[in-house]
Structure 1
Amino acid sequence: MVPPIKHAERGRLGAASTLVKFLAIAIAVVLVSGASVAAIAVTSIATQVSANSIDIGGSSGAPAEAHVGAFVGGFNVLIVGTDNDASQGNAFGERDATLNDVNILLHVSADQKSGVVVSFPRDLIVDHPACTDPSTGTAYDATYNEALNTGYERGGLACIKTTIENLTGLAIPYAGLISFNGVIEMTNAVGGVPVCLAEPIKDTDSGLDLPAGTSTISGGTALAFLRTRHGVGDGSDLARISSQQQYLSSLVRTLKSANTLTDVTKLYGLAQAAAQNIKLSTTLASLDSMVSLALALKDVDLAKLVFVQYPGTTGDADYPGKVVPTIDVADELFAKIKADEPFTLNADSTGPGSSVVSTPTPGATDTPAPTSTDTPAASGAPTPTPTSNVIDGVTGQTAAEQTCASAFGN
């Protein structure tokens, strides 16, 4: 049995992969309201977003100019969560470096009916290509076989984007950066997120203390749930990703529920919190781009939005405490993603410390995500042999699935 991965405890945040989507939906809904006061408020938000934007360099995946309602086809958005960002001081521990401890890629299919959210382990061993930070002009040499979360210190968001592009083969035209404070404010703005625990979890390292069952968490408690590693599963960072995926799927369900999407005040508060706490790429930091992406995202079915971990293994003697990519599985996964081909996950694939309890979302289809495109045979015609779309070795869940986190050691 492989021992739990041990890392220097630097904390980890979640909820980032859908934050750009939430901001865009909020702005779109407020714009549609047509009220002059709302229009002024939205203009103020857009100004904040533009002022905080980050140049991530050119990408063949970005349209030259986006227009409201005119965005077509699939797209990719990278969200990076920084650990101990300089702007937050030592509130979450003494800083000795700023790391990109959360790296999440959202892919939306060309027909905009399904999506895949990929979480990359922070200690994933990767090659970092040579890159130049467009914001500073500083050039960085390539490095090899190093943890992914060292990327921020060698070129910021632009260089992380280049590393993920090289690793996945996907063009990434849009990106965003968020820190701990952003997670707290965004969770508060949505009114809290329900999470399920199979047993009580008390973790003094993260400060999490929750009973068994379902609790609606916000603020510092939400951050503690997303950061806890020693409290869940096998005590590894991979178990923490499973908990974060539970949180993300619940957050998406909350945002798509009627009481959220019809509450303009709540949506405006969400947009304002995002504008103040998220730095978006210059390719995304405009009303046209954000509203266009919002309109593209609004019809994605929860059962066709799947959260997965980048495939990797632990226990390699050459990289103790790190995650080594499982190349053949990763190649299969990203070939499916790039071609928008349907795939499914094994029934027991939620990851360490997490298990599916139900698929409670009203209106979601019962089909696993992404769904098969096979059509039923005509009456009297022979039934075709089903084609397996399962990718062995990939863990995750759909946004329609409710999972529960298990306490460490259970």
Structure 2
Amino acid sequence: MNPWLNRRMPPHSTDIDEPAGDAAARRPAARGPRPKKLATIARHGRLKRSNPIATGLKIVASTLAVALVSGGIVAGIALWDVAATVKPGVALVDSQGEAVTDLPAIGAYPGGVNLLIVGSDSRAGQDPVFGDAEEETGNLNDVTMLVHISEDHSNATVVSFPRDMFVPIPSCPDPSGGSFDSMSRQKINTSLSYGGLACTALTVSQLTGLEIPFAAEVQFSGVMAMSTALGGVTVCVADPIEDEYTNTFLSAGEHTLEGYEALQFLRTRHGVGDGSDLSRISNQQVFLSAMMQQVKSAETLTNPGILYSLAKAAAKNMQLSDSLTSLDTMIAIAMTLREVDLANIAFVQYPNAAVEGGVEPIDDAATALFEALGNDQPIQLSGATGAGAVANPTDPTAVDPAEGADAGADPAATAPPADATDPAAGGAVVLPSSVTGQTADQRTCSRGRTLEDQ
């Protein structure tokens, strides 16, 4: 018998875009018993509590630095405000079960920066428009993204993990003591409900072979606040998007989205591509690339006012790991991203193939991807954007990301070795076509889907 069968199961994995009533109707009438805590296993190490004096000195240093750079005292006052809103952090552990501590400065971090961003479907503390928080008790990581920045800050990759991908889940620390049992095969979006943010970080770390010292969990309100802080994001829609589940109806053309509209655009799947979660990922990448183009063109990362608004939105609406509650760390990561050229920022989907009930990893392609990231090598995509995105049809300079790719190729084909670099691509590792996505400089549009096609 598989070890995970005796373990407490999380709430039923439902779509975050389903009406509350439909989700509740399919939820099992009763849950299994809570897993027993292993009394013989000691608690995992925790990060040391912050010293008030040391924390105060960090805040003062960060305040002075930003005040000097911006040439004004407003940014300094703003940082004090952000510091007061930061929630208590979550202790992360590495693959050896040791507490993540003694982190070096971002610029000197060995192997680059690995930051996990988790989007939770929990309704707890959210606007009533998203459903009854008491009935909607799920806490699934329906969005899981790993941000990798190379050590020399020359390139960055954002990997999206399909929520319905079956993966092993390692033994995770129980916040109340002991550990939860490991599981041999479970959907990745259940990891948050088993052991919280630390468990999702461990799961992704084991899957990718990369240590993850930084992590953040964001709920619906956080996405709304961040998009509003940017003043909205302008996206291109190639075909009309019609989705009754998220109440998203967008005509073909450009739309500037913020707040609730931006959130629903990111949540829609029925209204894009083939209606699958994989289409939703490529649609989200359209939004992310448009956002990065906007941030770069407007020099957002050099504007202390906007940086403050983003930091405030993050502090109020995100659960951060202990390692991210430091103001200087948050600022350093933002400044690191500022150095990366748009052409060297890639948004990719974890390579996967369909199986009954979900998808499973394509191991050879995943190995090529994460060996390249682990070695801080730039990557080159050879696959398409995915079912939810197309090249911008009104932009003569836009190049179809799928051009030159073998559309009939077997997505499970053996990937080239991780050191198979293309001299014409500046030494970048050429990934197999099963790794879909786009770079931040590519102009793409959402492939809409009307009610008639659903």
TM-score band, normalised by shorter chain: 0.7 to 0.9
> Aligned match of 1:199 in 231, 239, 252?
239
Q: Distance in 2 between matches of 1:30 and 1:206?
A: 42
Shift of 1:86: 1.5
Q: Distance in 1 between matches of 2:93 and 2:425?
A: 46
Over residues 214-236 of structure 1, what are the superposed CA-to-partner deviations in whole Å (9 max), with x where a residue is unaligned? 11111111111111111110010
> Aligned match of 1:33 in 70, 76, 79?
70
> Aligned match of 1:283 in 316, 323, 326?
323
The answer for the alignment partner of 1:251 in structure 2 is 291
**Is the CA contact 1:68–1:292 (under 8 Å) kept in the aligned structure 2?**
yes
Over residues 292-340 of structure 1, what are the superposed CA-to-partner deviations in whole Å (9 max), with x where a residue is unaligned? 32332221111000000001111x2xx32x1111111111111111112
The answer for the alignment partner of 1:8 in structure 2 is 14
290-299 or 280-289, which deviates more: 290-299
> Does the C-alpha gap of structure 1 residues 374 and 173 become closer, same or farther in structure 2, counting only changes over 3 Å?
same
Question: After superposition, where does 1:55-134 map in structure 2 within 5 Å?
Answer: 55-58=91-94, 64-67=102-105, 74-88=112-126, 90-94=128-132, 95-133=136-174
Query: Cα RMSD (Å) of the superposition?
Result: 3.0
> Does the C-alpha gap of structure 1 residues 345 and 112 become closer, same or farther in structure 2, counting only changes over 3 Å?
same
| Helix, strand or coil at the partner of 1:88 | coil
> Does the C-alpha gap of structure 1 residues 390 and 168 become closer, same or farther in structure 2, counting only changes over 3 Å?
closer
> Aligned match of 1:45 in 71, 82, 103?
82
| Helix, strand or coil at the partner of 1:253 | helix
Shift of 1:376: 11
Shift of 1:35: 3.0
Q: How many residue pairs are counted as aligned between the two chains?
A: 367
Larger RCO, structure (CA 8 Å, separation 6 or more): 1
> Does the C-alpha gap of structure 1 residues 375 and 62 become closer, same or farther in structure 2, counting only changes over 3 Å?
farther
Residue type of the partner of 1:326?
I
The answer for the alignment partner of 2:184 in structure 1 is 144
**Is the CA contact 1:192–1:218 (under 8 Å) kept in the aligned structure 2?**
yes
In terms of Rg, which structure is larger? 2
**Is the CA contact 1:200–1:212 (under 8 Å) kept in the aligned structure 2?**
yes
**Is the CA contact 2:85–2:312 (under 8 Å) kept in the aligned structure 1?**
no
> Does the C-alpha gap of structure 1 residues 200 and 161 become closer, same or farther in structure 2, counting only changes over 3 Å?
same
Q: TM-score, normalised by structure 2?
A: 0.74
| Helix, strand or coil at the partner of 2:308 | helix
Shift of 1:373: 7.7
**Is the CA contact 1:70–1:292 (under 8 Å) kept in the aligned structure 2?**
no
The answer for the alignment partner of 1:171 in structure 2 is 211
Shift of 1:289: 1.8
The answer for the alignment partner of 2:335 in structure 1 is 295
| Helix, strand or coil at the partner of 1:355 | strand
> Aligned match of 1:398 in 405, 429, 439?
439
Residue type of the partner of 1:46?
A
Question: After superposition, where does 1:314-325 map in structure 2 within 5 Å?
Answer: 314=354, 316=355, 319-320=356-357, 322-325=358-361
> Aligned match of 2:281 in 212, 233, 241?
241
Q: Distance in 2 between matches of 1:228 and 1:302?
A: 26
Q: Distance in 1 between matches of 2:321 and 2:437?
A: 27
> Does the C-alpha gap of structure 1 residues 58 and 136 become closer, same or farther in structure 2, counting only changes over 3 Å?
farther
71-80 or 56-65, which deviates more: 56-65
Q: Distance in 2 between matches of 1:66 and 1:43?
A: 23
Residue type of the partner of 2:15?
E
Q: Distance in 2 between matches of 1:228 and 1:376?
A: 35
**Is the CA contact 1:74–1:110 (under 8 Å) kept in the aligned structure 2?**
yes
Residue type of the partner of 2:385?
T
| Helix, strand or coil at the partner of 1:107 | strand
| Helix, strand or coil at the partner of 1:157 | helix
**Is the CA contact 1:30–1:42 (under 8 Å) kept in the aligned structure 2?**
no
Q: Distance in 1 between matches of 2:155 and 2:259?
A: 30
Q: Once the two structures are aligned, what percentage of the paired residues are identical? A: 43
Over residues 105-154 of structure 1, what are the superposed CA-to-partner deviations in whole Å (9 max), with x where a residue is unaligned? 00111211101100000111011111114x43252101121111111111
The answer for the alignment partner of 2:375 in structure 1 is 339
| Helix, strand or coil at the partner of 1:106 | strand
Shift of 1:404: 0.9
Q: Distance in 2 between matches of 1:252 and 1:136?
A: 39
> Does the C-alpha gap of structure 1 residues 157 and 360 become closer, same or farther in structure 2, counting only changes over 3 Å?
farther
| Helix, strand or coil at the partner of 2:316 | helix
| Helix, strand or coil at the partner of 1:335 | helix
> Does the C-alpha gap of structure 1 residues 404 and 72 become closer, same or farther in structure 2, counting only changes over 3 Å?
same
195-204 or 165-174, which deviates more: 195-204
Q: TM-score, normalised by structure 1?
A: 0.81
Does residue 326 (structure 1) correspond to residue 362 (structure 2)? The answer is yes
> Aligned match of 2:259 in 212, 215, 219?
219
- In structure 1, stretches of 5+ residues that fail to align are 1-6, 13-25, 362-371, 378-385
Shift of 1:29: 5.5
> Aligned match of 1:355 in 390, 393, 407?
390
Shift of 1:97: 1.1
Q: Distance in 1 between matches of 2:365 and 2:240?
A: 34
Residue type of the partner of 1:282?
D
Residue type of the partner of 1:221?
E
Does residue 157 (structure 1) correspond to residue 193 (structure 2)? The answer is no
> Does the C-alpha gap of structure 1 residues 349 and 31 become closer, same or farther in structure 2, counting only changes over 3 Å?
farther
**Is the CA contact 2:169–2:183 (under 8 Å) kept in the aligned structure 1?**
yes
> Does the C-alpha gap of structure 1 residues 66 and 294 become closer, same or farther in structure 2, counting only changes over 3 Å?
farther
Shift of 1:272: 1.4
**Is the CA contact 2:92–2:100 (under 8 Å) kept in the aligned structure 1?**
no
Q: Distance in 2 between matches of 1:229 and 1:199?
A: 14
